[in-house]
Amino acid sequence: MNIEQLHDAEDFFRFYKVPFDPKVVRVTRLHILKRFRQYLEQESLVEIVCESDADTWNKQRELFKKAYEDFVTSSPLVEKVFPVFQQQSAFFSLDMLKKGDS
- 3-state SS, one letter per residue, for the chain: CEHHHCCCHHHHHHHCCCCCCHHHHHHHHHHHHHHHHHHHHHCCCCCCCECCCHHHHHHHHHHHHHHHHHHHHCCHHHHCCCHHHHCCCCCCCHHHHHHHHC
Over the stretch 49-83, which tens digit does the pLDDT of each residue have?
Answer: 777 788 989 999 999 999 999 988 865 555 555 45
pLDDT of residue 48: 74
65 compared with 7, residue with greater pLDDT = 65
Which structural domain range is residue 89 located in?
3-101
pLDDT of residue 87: 46
Task: Read off the pLDDT of each residue in 13-24 and give the average, rounded to a whole number.
Answer: 95
Please count the structural domains in the chain.
Answer: 1
